[in-house]
Amino acid sequence: MKVCTNERIHSLDESMHLHVGYDEQGCDYEGVFFKSLETGKWLLFFDQKKVTG
């Protein structure tokens, strides 16, 4: 998978991902970390349509 962040396209390892979430005081945030194939860093992505506050 390729994703553009800050005008840079990252190749992501789809076999390495982690779902994370936070739900407290009416705030519910969910995201997914994917590992960059170029840098080895983990990048966090949010589905902005699901973010409430």
Angle at 22 between CA 19 and CA 14, to 5 degrees: 15
Residue-range definition of the domain harbouring residue 7: 2-46
pLDDT, position 42? 92
Is residue 23 assigned to a domain? yes
* Residue 53 lies inside a defined structural domain of this protein: no
Does residue 52 fall inside a structural domain?
A: no
Does residue 12 lie within any of the structural domains? Answer: yes
Phi, psi of 27 (to 5 degrees): -100, 130
Q: How many other C-beta atoms can be found within 10 angstroms of the C-beta atom of residue 34?
A: 21
pLDDT tens per residue across span 5-47: 665 677 888 888 899 998 888 888 889 999 989 889 999 988 7
Residue 12, Cβ neighbours under 10 Å: how many? 19
Number of domains into which the chain is organized: 1
pTM: 0.64
Chain-centre distance of CA 39, in angstroms?
A: 15
7 domain-assigned? yes
Entry field: residues in the chain: 53
